Structure 1
Amino acid sequence: MRTLPPMPDLRAYLAYLEGQGDLLRIPEPVDCRLQMTAVAMRALGAGGPALRFDAPVLADGSRAQVPVVANLFGTPGRVAAGLGIARDKVGDLGAFLAALRAPAPVEGMADALSRWPMLRAALAARPRVVRRAPVQQVVDEAPDLTRLPVQTCWPGDAGPLITWPVVLTRPNGTEAEDTARYNAGVYRAQVIGENRVILRWLAHRGGAGHHRSWGDAPMPVALVLGADPALLLGAALPLPETVSELTFSGALRGQRTELVPARTVPMLVPASAEMVLEGWVHPGDTAPEGPFGDHTGYYNAAEPFPVMTVTAMTHRDDPLYLSTATGRPPDEPSVIGEVFNDLALPVMRQQIPELVDLWLPPAACSYRIAVVSIAKRYPGQARRVMTALWGMLAQFSYTKMIVVTDADVDVRNWDDIAWVLATRYDPGRDTVILKDTPMDYLDFASPHEGLAGKIGLDATTKIGPETTRDWGTVMAQSPEAEAFAERLLEGRL
């Protein structure tokens, strides 16, 4: 499905962007505290290029020796390019991945041969272990993380925050070679010392589940800094818990993921990454994380999370540090979410066949509100779709409002949404309220931390026992009159 050449590492992707005129190098000194975030957010808001800061300034005023890459996925086009395709092919890739996830039975030799790209993608998902790797050109077993150009993004932040790590974990009882059991999650990591970082993984995320499995035993962890675009985006995708992002990225990349044994922990790590932090999370070792500015546009409160003690930092001879910043949309996660919305639609339709379109408005923090159109056939169908969405993916358990409309509505158009809410929705009849359901604990609008209500609005045409009145007929001009108007006014308006 890729229309772009494979990009085995971050450098290959940056070279592609530079060739497209979509990478800006900034030679001037830029402070890692606040200034870098301000520049990157300004560039993102303007639809500008990816950025490379060649003279990052550390907290003590000295210049870091490692350049910083930011705003990497600041436009939908760059997210699609990271997936290896053009923006208008995202839906096709989504359909391909849906078929890869749940293939239909093979019907004859011709059908089998037509599925060769699917088989090749499945084979590419199998990692390959190598003995030597660029990411281990330098091995530092006494690292000082304060010398890295880690951003402090917002004035109220507690300190420097690693914002784009791919955190690799595996459950207790597995071996380092069991890569199908690995979880790769993007969890922010607060630097609190030369070799200590706080890992903020929420209770429902894969990393936290693995942490619970280790109980009273130390847990090996690896933080990948500057992964290739397929692994970065694969780690950000809301995949089912049984799917390893590490292996899934091979299908996105079109090449097998090359892994190398870590030097100080029993883990395999991406061979082509820029940097890797290896270490252990010891039982009971926690520290207050935050406050930090978050994707909601507010600061979250400080709370205890596990601490990772870093036992080694490995990196290339001339590494790059990849960073981002989150805040009120638009930010990089909301741009990525916009593309993932289209990528996930075919998978959603596998479980909800009547689904026509679904939009997660980026301004609503990417997933807090969903607007859905369906091909309605029977009474109560809108409510069934609501409950199916809330239970389909862990991410949707945080969607506090779902609006369901008919297929004739453009769910990505706020005017259409307002029109159907005003004409097809009755608050007393068409409202579904749920209480005491899971919620992002960062949502301080909820009455209880991690527990809140949800609302579903049925803005579909009511049929059968859903109404006792004749339903209105939507007005539309005749095609002949519309054609006449177009001919009459052509070139005049």
Structure 2
Amino acid sequence: MAYRDLRDFIKKLKKEGELKEIDYPVSSYLEITEIADRVIKAGGPALLFKNVDGGNIPVAINLFASYKRMAMALEDDPDRIGERAAKLLKPEKPVGFIDKLKKLVELKKISDIFPKEIDKRKAPCKEVIMKEPDLSKFPILFCWPKDGGRFITLPLVFTKDPETGERNCGMYRLHVYDRKTTGMHWHWHKVGAKHFLKAKKMGIKKFPVAVAIGSDPAVIYSATAPLPEDVDEMVFAGFLRGKPVEMVKCETVDLEVPANAEIVLEGYVETDEFRFEGPFGDHTGYYSLPDFYPVFHITCITHRRNPIYPATIVGKPPMEDCYIGKATERIFLPFLKTQLPEIVDMSLPIEGVFHNFAFVSIDKRYPGHAKKVISALWGMGQMIFTKNIIIFDKDTNVHDIGEVIWRWGNNVDPKRDVIFSEGPVDALDHTSPLPFYGSKMGVDATRKWPSEGFERDWPPDIEMDAAVVKKVDEIWDKLGLPKKKEKKNPWSWGV
């Protein structure tokens, strides 16, 4: 059953004991960040601050900051979601009458995930219309001491291709300059920036933008998902929630937003206006430095009568975005496998902030197979930003950092097994000599074969005789020794 909206999800978190409501007065200036950061790193609950800056607008944070809450948000195990999505991409051909009927049912389900427009009078986000917009009325966070100002950190930014009309929804932070303007942090690799640049080339001076703050969790997650450019995030959200996203037209721009949003900012970006945005304490654990970005002018704000302001904070991992990223890893792994079926598993470790490391295990079948996979991954979607890709044999648990380091150290001759490439890098990578462009490293950490030029014998792993293992298992309790800790699943989604 799909969540109706953000508050329906919060209600579910409270029922499951995953939410802590805080009535004690706190400040949106640094204090909420410090509290939320401590709670995240202690594995604590989602937080709902009900007395922020002496106002009556609650701040919700840490909503997705655990594997269990992430699975609750998506209403399923992300691994299962990925399998369902991959099956839709690669459906089996029906062979008989019953199979054809089943396919018709599946097609009907697909048609039911497309967003639908509703009447403005029925949209909760239209309960209050501020024709004189004022961002100062909302408890927008000042996250870290050296930030350039307050930032809206969980915005759903809607644009349309000015030529085709195709919709995009991305999550790009907004640096608040004053009551009516913010920065628009469009990385130039993102679709929102692509729409902006196309508008600029077409001579459009005021490019329409709408920003929804607070929707149901499937919609929020979809804004972060690394979807192909031609896939509407609201269709993907419909797939996740098993129900269409209800959209409503804006008041002052020709765009639609989720009707269940808590707050909506409408306006435009001047295509010839840029301003310093930042610095900002970012997910890399460092401040991203100030740079020129477009300016978002707000022409109207609509919101619920008693809105909830959702936010997130980023910084040194683990943070809330790590759990969102881990869900993305599992959901999109089956998509990678449709293109590279030799992939067995993949881990984007939290410590690598998702673009610094990818550990990949493969079913190696021919000489140079690992290097082929490295090159292929660098050519796929947002994997182009991955700075280090390390390939292992299929028997390696890529989620066990200890095993990864052990295999990497023992299986690699640096001169032979390391390759370098150059190309696009993440906009937040502060190590590259040029913005957006730098080097990457691929490592073949698989066992080497004679057909790869390795003439020596490759030593076998040390393993105990199976019969001895069985016998010791049988007598273990009689020895009075502590039981061996079992290696558990790297995450517990809690569903």
Q: TM-score range by the shorter chain?
A: over 0.9
Q: Does 1:424 align with 2:414?
A: no
Q: Equivalent residue for 2:117?
A: 129
Report how far residue 174 of structure 1 moved: 4.2
Matches within 5 A, 1:188-199: 188-199=173-184
Give unpaired runs (5+ residues) of structure 1.
Answer: 58-62, 176-180
Q: Equivalent residue for 1:82?
A: 73
Matches within 5 A, 1:33-432: 33-57=29-53, 63-85=54-76, 89-115=77-103, 118-131=106-119, 132=121, 133-175=123-165, 181-215=166-200, 216-217=203-204, 218-393=206-381, 395-432=382-419
Q: Deviations over 1:288-319 (max 9, x none)?
A: 00001001111111111111110110011111
Report how far residue 115 of structure 1 moved: 4.6
| Contact map agreement 1:121 1:250 (CA 8 A) in 2 | no
Distance 2:65 2:104 in 1: 34
Report how far residue 117 of structure 1 moved: 6.6
Q: Does 1:461 align with 2:467?
A: no
Distance 2:350 2:104 in 1: 36
Q: Across the two proteins, how many residue pairs are aligned to each other?
A: 474
Report how far residue 240 of structure 1 moved: 1.0
Q: Equivalent residue for 1:486?
A: 473
| Contact map agreement 2:183 2:277 (CA 8 A) in 1 | yes
Q: Equivalent residue for 1:60?
A: none
Query: What one-letter code is carried by the residue in structure 1 that aligns with 2:55?
Result: A
| Contact map agreement 1:30 1:36 (CA 8 A) in 2 | yes
Distance 1:117 1:239 in 2: 25
Q: Does 1:447 align with 2:423?
A: no
Instruction: Give the TM-score, by structure 2 length.
Output: 0.93
Distance 1:235 1:378 in 2: 39
Q: Equivalent residue for 2:493?
A: none
Distance 2:109 2:309 in 1: 29
Q: Equivalent residue for 1:7?
A: 3
**Do the aligned partners of residues 320 and 116 (structure 1) sit closer, same or farther apart at CA in structure 2, a change above 3 Å counting?**
farther
| Contact map agreement 2:144 2:281 (CA 8 A) in 1 | yes
Distance 2:62 2:280 in 1: 19
- Secondary structure of the residue aligned to 2:198 is helix
Report how far residue 456 of structure 1 moved: 0.8
- Secondary structure of the residue aligned to 1:282 is strand
Q: Deviations over 1:56-77 (max 9, x none)?
A: 11xxxxx233111111101011
Report how far residue 116 of structure 1 moved: 6.2
| Contact map agreement 1:281 1:308 (CA 8 A) in 2 | yes
- Secondary structure of the residue aligned to 2:379 is helix
| Contact map agreement 2:424 2:438 (CA 8 A) in 1 | yes
| Contact map agreement 2:355 2:426 (CA 8 A) in 1 | no
Report how far residue 84 of structure 1 moved: 1.2
Q: Deviations over 1:215-246 (max 9, x none)?
A: 13111100000011011111111111111102
- Secondary structure of the residue aligned to 1:221 is strand
- Secondary structure of the residue aligned to 2:451 is helix
Distance 1:239 1:135 in 2: 26
Give unpaired runs (5+ residues) of structure 2.
Answer: 482-495
Q: Deviations over 1:189-219 (max 9, x none)?
A: 0111111111101001010011111113111
Report how far residue 106 of structure 1 moved: 2.4
| Contact map agreement 1:146 1:191 (CA 8 A) in 2 | no
Q: Deviations over 1:57-107 (max 9, x none)?
A: 1xxxxx23311111110101111111111xxx3212111011122323223
Q: Equivalent residue for 2:489?
A: none
Distance 2:13 2:102 in 1: 32
Larger mean CA deviation between 278-287 and 354-363 belongs to 278-287
Larger mean CA deviation between 211-220 and 399-408 belongs to 211-220
Distance 1:417 1:312 in 2: 52
Distance 2:100 2:244 in 1: 22
- Secondary structure of the residue aligned to 2:20 is strand
Distance 1:229 1:135 in 2: 16
Distance 2:270 2:105 in 1: 44
Distance 1:50 1:107 in 2: 48
| Contact map agreement 1:291 1:299 (CA 8 A) in 2 | yes
- Secondary structure of the residue aligned to 2:459 is coil
Distance 2:301 2:418 in 1: 53
Distance 1:301 1:484 in 2: 61
Larger mean CA deviation between 463-472 and 142-151 belongs to 463-472
Query: What one-letter code is carried by the residue in structure 2 that aligns with 1:416?
Result: E
Report how far residue 406 of structure 1 moved: 0.4
Report how far residue 147 of structure 1 moved: 1.8
Distance 1:454 1:283 in 2: 33
Identity within the alignment, %: 38
Q: Does 1:476 align with 2:483?
A: no
| Contact map agreement 2:114 2:234 (CA 8 A) in 1 | no
Distance 2:95 2:447 in 1: 39
Instruction: Give the TM-score, by structure 1 length.
Output: 0.94
Q: Equivalent residue for 2:490?
A: none
Distance 2:399 2:445 in 1: 15
Report how far residue 366 of structure 1 moved: 2.0
Report how far residue 110 of structure 1 moved: 3.1
Distance 1:227 1:145 in 2: 19
Distance 2:362 2:146 in 1: 43
| Contact map agreement 1:195 1:309 (CA 8 A) in 2 | yes
Q: Following TM superposition, where does structure 1 have runs of at least 4 consecutive aligned residues deviating by more than 6 angstroms?
A: none
| Contact map agreement 2:196 2:207 (CA 8 A) in 1 | yes
